[in-house]
């Protein structure tokens, strides 16, 4: 094997060359998973390596001076050595053995051996295997003045020899050595901490690619292309020409045409405080004697994609190899390691493939960084809008009960479209992640058909599929049919023509592929048909009031985002045009919203419209509004029982201002309560399509349902009446092997008949039970609705006859009642009052004595006590409350935490000692209630049995201190027990009150002391603050005086300098005058 250098040490190319993108499939752009992966990888790759767990990182192996630092070890061995020497790192400080600015030499050897050893080769072989030797490198991140890009590169041609053709391997061994040292351990100039060695295999083994053959279906099968690769020819010749694809299970040896050598620049000093990060720990080689480590030599093949690999075969004589060297900063090395680890983990888990990984890398290579950042941001918005639009769609179908107005064509065709898309993805070998997503969407669409179609059996047990009655009888169905029919006249011929054109002039893998591709084009074009009927329906109805504009806005925003991708992402032209087509439809929707008035008969995009019955009811209510307030209020209250979120059921009881006060009072959480939640009636809610869990119903309801079910007296067929051949045929049909003996086979078949008959009988019985349960529940709902309607009418009439009720409702709902109230009301008025008292906070004591209230009013009082938290005293003397009211009140008091006094005097709580269930419930209440102090049961007809129950309840009560049970004919022993318990409770209560008084006294004393202490602290703090202010003022005064003194000193110095200067000038002038005088005098003397 020989190699030749082509370009010396010239500048290298970029890590990845320019490569054309592969054609993308139908859903490559409309499915958000690629964008989600891009976003996740980008952020996780950058932040993942710097946000590691708080656990101690793995430490690099430690070597001694006599060990070879250049010998590469196995990763697992490194990990074991790292774990064994963690303590060493915490005790020493390791610095880089390569100093910044050191001169380096680079050697690259090509060898068929995985482990390179200088001792195993002679000098000639070593020189032959040395294919690149670069001197003058520098251990620094500074830009080399001779190389603007900072890279050293060369191009080699590697000769293909017999070793590679026989599936052998070729390894690149790279040595980076400080200048003046040798990588050979046998040389005297060798230093293990001055040389770094890494190796990498230059060829990999991949399965043979799947060869897909396409041909014109109307012509004979064509010959394979002569220009195809030899491997493709061999695979094609070995396969039958009638097959669409050829798949070989053998592997090919593929050549990596590029190798990047990176020197990771790291000047960190590692110690117990600064530990090496996990991505560095396994690459470091430490030396305890010199307390140093060698830098990381990273052989980077991250940017080598699968499409760059070259097959090694006999037709190729030389293979290109591009070698590049440049330094790499530590943070980039961390990003490479994190991304590579993420890719490996996902491929190992099966959530990604090499194709997906290469697609992700290609985005980083070919996409502008700014455009990539915009894509990530836009992808986040696209995913959010996808989720919101999908949520609205699923929520609508899940809650929809009536399908009146829904387009049956839209539901069925959307399911057909999703099936075509799923088959198209299967035909194009799309990633399984997208296949799973498409499959889930298909399942959801099939679930929608269950709502849109009614599947049943006729009297002949034949399967009958029909549309929902609400759809077939609505005007929307006719508008939908007309719109689709008119558009189909134009588009169907175009679809047929396009399919025929591709059949004649195009090539396909087979007839199935042609059908799928034609249907895919049909889906693209027919999507336009399924959007325009909504415009036509809007035009016919002259309204867009009921369109789900929130969902439409989400979808339109996604459409605009798709427009952005249509400009920057490679995609089929048909899909690109469909994006702008959706924009046009949305703008037409906006125009229709502007020109059409708002009304309640509009059909939205899901098919929901206002029914004629609802319009008629609304008109009837409006027409009767002038007759009075009672009738429309009753109609509104009855209609409210059919809705999910009804208005307040007591709004019909009051005038408008009072209604507003009540709404403010009963909406502490911002929602209105329905009728059932206020009066305590819980109607059974069920879905006609869902089974009723009969076992969860009350016993009374279960008995009523089972009474409607008729018994099944049928018997299984008799196998012994069949002939031998009939028995044999029946057994074979059921997967049973006949033995050949008539009696044995007949007995075995009879067992099977019995089992099948039992299963069928059980199934029929379940169907009967379900039918009876649903009919019973429907009747129950209807009956209770009628009862509620009757009660509402009674309350309205009572308010009209008794203005006192309306006045008190106004006070109660406005929390303006006095603390104590004594009212004379009927049972109907009491029911209306209790609905307002549920959320009242002003009334503390209420007396409804001597009103002859019935059990219905007592039930409302019990429901009120469950919600009310302000009422302390309730007087119900001399009413008509029976055992039912006693039970309801007892149940309410088990949870009530405010009532302390209850008076039930002179009420027939036992129905003349016939029913003690109410007393039993009161006794159980006494064992649970923790707030009730006084209970009056005088003359409530307890009797002996009631006395026993009351004694048992008081035995477990520690709070009641006053219990009046006189005139009830209870036993003496029970009376004595109750008296003793009351005495104990009173003593306990008095002791508790004393403790509370002492506690309050101590708390007050402590509070006063604390208040006094805080006042002292505040005064002391004020005094200290005043002292500090005085000190600061004196300090500022001293500073001001010092500044003034310094200024005066400076002025004095300036004055003295000026005076000295003036004297010096006068003296100089005087001296000059004297010189002149002397000079004149000397001249006169000389003359």
Which segments within 589-714 are labelled E, that is strand?
none
What backbone phi and psi angles, to 5 degrees, belong to 372? -65, -40
The helix/strand/coil state of 35 is helix
Write the pLDDT tens digit of every residue in 813-852.
888 889 899 998 888 889 888 988 888 888 999 999 998 8
Could you give the C-alpha distances from 409 to 448, 533, 541, 589, 923, in angstroms and in order?
12, 11, 19, 21, 64
Does residue 718 register a pLDDT over 60? yes
- Band (441; pLDDT cuts 50, 70, 90): confident
**pLDDT > 50? residue 624:** no
The average pLDDT across 910-917 equals 84
List the single range of 623-627, 783-787, 879-883 with lowest mean pLDDT: 623-627
pLDDT level of residue 68 (50, 70, 90 thresholds): very low
pLDDT at 669 over 80: no
Q: Are 509 and 245 in contact (CB under 8 A)?
A: yes
Summarize pLDDT for 333-363 with one digit per residue, the tens.
888 888 888 888 877 777 677 777 777 777 7
If one compares 221 and 1080, the residue with the highest pLDDT of the two is 1080
Least confident of 228-242, 318-332, 388-402, 960-974: 228-242
Which DSSP string do the residues of 769-825 spell out, in sequence order? Answer: HHHHHHHHHHHHHHHHHHHHHHHHHHHHHHHHH-HHHHHHHHHHHTT---SEEE---
- Residue 302 main-chain phi, psi, to 5 deg: -65, -35
Q: How many CA atoms lie within 13 A of 1042 on its CB side?
A: 6
Residue 459 pLDDT level (bands cut at 50, 70, 90): low
Between these two residues, 865 and 21, which has the higher pLDDT value?
865
Q: Are 614 and 777 in contact (CB under 8 A)?
A: no
Rounded to 5 degrees, what are φ and ψ at 190? -85, 135
| CB contact at 8 A, 529 and 484 | yes
The SS3 assignment for 741 reads coil
The model's confidence at residue 559, banded by pLDDT at 50, 70 and 90, is: low
pLDDT over 70 percentage in the chain: 68
E-assigned strand segments in 633-727: none
DSSP string, 293-333: EEPPEEEE-TT--GGG-EE--TT-SEEEEEEEEEEEEHHHH
Return mean pLDDT, the chain. 74
What is the token pair recorded at 267?
Answer: 């000047």
Q: What is the mean pLDDT of residues 20-27?
A: 39
Q: 629 near 795, Cβ under 8 Å?
A: no
CA-to-CA distance for 77 and 464, rounded, in angstroms? 70
CA dist 241 and 223 (Å) reads 9
* Residue 682, Cβ density class (10 Å: 0-12 exposed, 13-18 middle, ≥19 buried): exposed
The 10 Å Cβ neighbour count of residue 59 is 25
Tokens representing residue 302 in the block:
């991250």
Mean pLDDT of 1050-1071: 92
Q: Is pLDDT at 545 greater than 50 in this prediction?
A: yes
CA distance 780 to 773: 10
Q: Sign of torsion, CA 980 986 990 993?
A: positive
CB atoms within 10 A of CB 574: 13
Indicate whether 597 pLDDT > 80. no
- 1077: pLDDT strictly greater than 80: yes
**Least confident segment among 16-20, 335-339, 708-712:** 16-20
Highest mean pLDDT among 84-88, 336-340, 349-353, 633-637: 336-340
pLDDT at position 437 is 65
Flag whether the pTM goes above 0.75. Answer: no
Sheet-wide strand order for 285-287: 62-63, 285-287, 292-294, 95-96
Give the closest residue to 604 by CA, choosing from 440, 745, 410, 469: 410
CB-based contacts of 1001: which residues, under 8 Å, 6+ apart? none
DSSP assignment of 393-450: HHHHHHH----TT--HHHHHHHHHHHHHHHHHHHHTT--HHHHHHHHHHHHHHHHHHH
The answer to whether residues 217 and 251 touch, using CB atoms and an 8 Å cutoff, is: no
Let me know: does 608 contact 624? Beta carbons within 8 Å: no
Q: What is the pLDDT of residue 629?
A: 34
Closest CA to 151 of 33, 252, 10: 10
pLDDT class of 586 with cuts at 50, 70, 90: confident
pLDDT band at 416 (very low <50, low <70, confident <90, very high): confident
Per-residue pLDDT, averaged over 432-438, amounts to 65
- Rounded to whole angstroms, the Cα distance separating 879 from 157 reads 110
DSSP 56-118: PPPPPPEE-TTS-TTS---HHHHHHHHHHTHHHHHHS-BEESSPTT-EEEEEEEEES-SS--G
Query: pLDDT at position 89, please?
Result: 46
Over residues 894-922, mean pLDDT: 89
Q: Among 128-142, 389-403, 751-765, 909-923, which is the least confidently predicted range?
A: 389-403
Q: Which domains does the chain have, with CATH numbers?
A: 60-202+256-349 (no CATH), 209-217+226-252 (no CATH), 376-595 (no CATH), 611-640 (no CATH), 691-797 (no CATH), 808-970 (3.80.10.10)
- Residue partners of 288: CB distance under 8 A and separation at least 6: 62, 64, 88, 92
Distance from first CA to last CA of the chain, Å, rounded?
Answer: 120
**Which tokens go with 755?**
């089992």
pLDDT computed for residue 524 by the predictor: 66
Q: Is the pLDDT of residue 111 over 50?
A: yes
Q: Distance (Å, rounded) from C-alpha 860 to C-alpha 865?
A: 9
| Residue 449 CA: distances (Å) to CA of 441, 453, 465, 469, 604 | 13, 6, 11, 14, 18
Q: How far apart are CA 826 and CA 829, in angstroms?
A: 5
Structure tokens at 441: 């969407």
Higher-confidence residue of 287 and 655: namely 287
Instruction: With beta carbons less than 8 A apart as the criterion, state whether 477 and 468 touch.
Output: no
- pLDDT over threshold 50, residue 639: no
What 3-state DSSP class applies to 487?
helix
> What integer is the mean pLDDT of 858-876?
92
Only one residue has tokens 């915009």, namely 374
Per-residue pLDDT, 722? 86
Q: Report the pLDDT averaged over residues 162-168.
A: 85
Q: How far apart are CA 363 and CA 835, in angstroms?
A: 65
In this prediction, residues 106-129 reach a mean pLDDT of: 85
- pLDDT surpasses 90 at 1038: yes
Q: Which of 353-357, 404-408, 624-628, 667-671 has the highest mean pLDDT?
A: 353-357
Q: Could you tell me how far CA 478 lies from the centroid of its own chain?
A: 41
pLDDT tens digits for range 465-488: 666 655 555 566 666 677 677 777
297-300 and 310-311 strand pairing: unpaired
* CA distance linking residue 557 with residue 78, whole number of Å: 53
Q: What is the pLDDT of residue 107?
A: 92
Share of the chain above pLDDT 90, in %: 14
What's the rounded Cα separation, in Å, for the pair 403 and 411? 11
Residue of higher predicted confidence among 29 and 723: 723
pLDDT of residue 1042: 93
Pairing of strands 62-63, 285-287: parallel
Which of residues 209 and 850 earns the better pLDDT score? 850
Q: What's residue 234's pLDDT?
A: 43
Which of the given ranges, 21-25, 43-47, 983-987, 1079-1083, has the highest pLDDT on average? 983-987
Measure the CA angle with vertex 801, ends 800 and 803; round to 5°: 75
Q: How confident is the model at residue 431 (pLDDT cuts 50, 70, 90)?
A: low
- If we measure between CA atoms, which residue out of 210, 271, 297 comes closest to residue 86? 271
DSSP, residue by residue, 211-255: EE--B-TTSPPPPPPTTS-HHHHHHHHHS-TTSSEE----EEEEE
The per-residue pLDDT for 566 is: 58
């Amino acid at each position: 094997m020989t190699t030749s250098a082509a370009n010396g040490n010239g500048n290298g190319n970029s890590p990845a060359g320019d490569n054309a993108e592969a054609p993308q499939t139908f859903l490559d752009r409309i499915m958000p998973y690629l964008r989600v992966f891009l976003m996740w990888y980008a952020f996780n790759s950058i932040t993942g390596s710097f946000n590691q767990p708080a656990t101690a990182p793995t430490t690099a192996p430690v070597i001694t001076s006599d060990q070879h630092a250049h010998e590469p070890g196995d990763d697992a061995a490194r990990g074991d050595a790292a774990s064994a020497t963690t303590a060493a790192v915490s005790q020493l400080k390791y610095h880089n053995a390569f100093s910044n600015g050191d001169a380096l030499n680079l050697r690259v050897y090509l060898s068929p051996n995985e482990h390179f050893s200088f001792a195993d080769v002679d000098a000639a072989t070593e020189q032959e295997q040395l294919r690149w030797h670069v001197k003058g490198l520098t251990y620094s991140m500074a830009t080399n003045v001779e190389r603007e890009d900072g890279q050293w590169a060369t191009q080699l041609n590697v000769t293909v020899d017999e070793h590679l053709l026989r599936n052998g391997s070729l390894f690149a061994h790279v040595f980076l050595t400080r200048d003046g040292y040798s990588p050979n351990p046998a040389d005297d100039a060798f230093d293990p901490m001055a040389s770094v060695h890494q190796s990498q295999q230059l060829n990999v083994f991949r399965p043979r690619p799947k060869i897909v053959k396409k041909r014109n279906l109307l012509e004979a099968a064509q010959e394979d292309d002569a220009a195809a690769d030899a491997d493709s020819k061999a695979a094609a010749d070995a396969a039958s020409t009638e097959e669409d694809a050829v798949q070989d299970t053998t592997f090919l040896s593929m050549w990596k045409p590029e190798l990047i050598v990176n020197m990771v620049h790291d000047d960190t000093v590692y110690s117990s405080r600064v530990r090496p990060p996990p991505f560095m720990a396994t690459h470091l080689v430490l030396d305890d004697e010199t307390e140093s480590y060698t830098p990381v030599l990273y052989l980077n093949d991250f940017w080598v994609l699968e499409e760059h690999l070259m097959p090694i075969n006999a037709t190729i004589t030389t293979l290109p190899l591009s070698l590049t060297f440049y330094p790499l900063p530590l943070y980039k090395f961390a990003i490479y390691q994190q991304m590579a680890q993420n890719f490996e983990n996902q491929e190992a888990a099966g959530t990604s493939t090499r194709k997906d990984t290469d697609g992700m890398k290609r985005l980083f290579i070919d996409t502008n960084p700014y455009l990539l950042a915009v894509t990530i941001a836009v992808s986040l918005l696209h995913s959010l809008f996808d989720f919101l639009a999908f949520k609205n769609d699923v929520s609508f179908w899940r809650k929809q009960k009536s399908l009146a107005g829904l387009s049956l064509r839209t539901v069925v065709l959307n399911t057909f479209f999703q099936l075509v898309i799923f088959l198209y993805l299967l035909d194009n070998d799309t990633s399984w992640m997208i296949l799973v997503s498409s499959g889930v969407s298909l399942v959801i669409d099939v679930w929608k058909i269950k709502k849109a179609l009614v599947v049943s059996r006729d009297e002949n047990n034949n399967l009958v599929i029909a549309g929902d009655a609400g759809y077939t009888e609505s005007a929307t169905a006719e508008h939908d049919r007309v719109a689709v029919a008119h558009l189909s006249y134009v588009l169907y011929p175009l679809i047929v023509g396009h399919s025929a054109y591709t059949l004649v002039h195009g090539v396909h893998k087979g007839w199935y592929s042609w059908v799928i591709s034609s249907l895919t084009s049909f889906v693209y074009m027919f999507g336009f048909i399924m959007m325009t009927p909504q415009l036509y329906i809007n035009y016919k109805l002259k309204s867009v009031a009921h369109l789900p504009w929130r969902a439409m806005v989400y979808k339109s925003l996604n459409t605009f985002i798709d427009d952005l991708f249509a400009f920057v992402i490679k995609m089929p032209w048909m899909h690109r045009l469909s994006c702008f087509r959706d924009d046009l439809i949305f703008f037409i929707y906006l125009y229709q919203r502007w020109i059409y008035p708002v009304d309640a008969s509009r059909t939205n995009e899901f098919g929901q419209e206002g029914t004629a019955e609802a319009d008629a009811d609304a008109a009837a209510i409006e027409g009767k509004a002038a007759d009075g307030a009672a009738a429309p209020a009753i109609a509104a209250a009855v209609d409210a029982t059919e809705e999910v979120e009804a208005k307040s059921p007591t709004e019909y009881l009051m005038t408008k201002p009072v209604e507003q006060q009540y709404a403010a009072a009963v909406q502490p959480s911002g929602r209105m309560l329905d009728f059932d939640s206020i009066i305590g009636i819980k109607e059974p809610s069920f879905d006609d399509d869902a089974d009723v869990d009969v076992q969860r119903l009350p016993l009374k309801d279960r008995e009523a349902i089972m009474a409607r079910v008729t018994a099944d007296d049928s018997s299984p067929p008799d196998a012994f009446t069949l002939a031998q051949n009939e028995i044999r045929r029946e057994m074979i049909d059921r997967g049973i092997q006949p033995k050949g003996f008539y009696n044995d086979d007949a007995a075995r078949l009879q067992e099977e008949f019995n089992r099948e008959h039992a299963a069928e009988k059980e199934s029929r019985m379940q169907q009967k039970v379900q039918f009876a349960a649903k009919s019973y529940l429907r009747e129950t709902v209807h009956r209770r609705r009628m009862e509620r309607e009757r009660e509402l009418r009674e309350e309205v009439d009572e308010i009209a006859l008794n203005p006192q009720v309306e006045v008190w409702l106004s006070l109660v709902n406005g929390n303006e009642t006095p603390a104590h109230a004594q009212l004379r009301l009927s049972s109907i008025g009491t029911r209306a009052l209790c609905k307002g008292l549920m959320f009242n906070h002003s009334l503390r004591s209420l007396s409804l004595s001597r009103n002859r209230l019935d059990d219905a009013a007592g039930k409302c009082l019990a429901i009120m006590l469950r919600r009310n938290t302000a009422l302390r005293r309730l007087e119900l003397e001399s009413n008509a409350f029976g055992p039912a009211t006693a039970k309801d009140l007892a149940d309410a008091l088990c949870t009530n935490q405010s009532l302390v006094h209850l008076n039930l005097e002179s009420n027939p709580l036992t129905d003349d000692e016939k029913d003690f269930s109410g007393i039993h419930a009161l006794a159980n209440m006494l064992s649970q209630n923790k707030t009730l102090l006084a209970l009056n049961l005088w003359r409530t007809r307890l009797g002996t049995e009631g006395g026993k129950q009351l004694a048992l309840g008081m035995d477990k009560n520690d709070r009641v201190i006053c219990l009046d049970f006189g005139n009830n004919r209870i036993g003496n022993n029970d009376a004595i027990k109750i008296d003793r318990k009351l005495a104990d409770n009173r003593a306990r209560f008095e002791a508790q009150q004393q403790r509370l008084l002492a506690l309050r006294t101590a708390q007050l004393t402590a509070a006063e002391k604390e208040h006094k202490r805080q006042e002292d602290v505040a005064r002391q703090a004020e005094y200290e603050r005043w002292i500090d202010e005085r000190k600061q003022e004196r300090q500022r005064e001293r500073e001001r005086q010092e500044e003034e003194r310094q200024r005066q000193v400076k002025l004095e110095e300036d004055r003295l300098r000026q005076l000295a200067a003036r004297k010096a000038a006068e003296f100089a002038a005087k001296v000059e005058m004297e010189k002149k005088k002397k000079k004149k005098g000397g001249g006169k003397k000389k003359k």
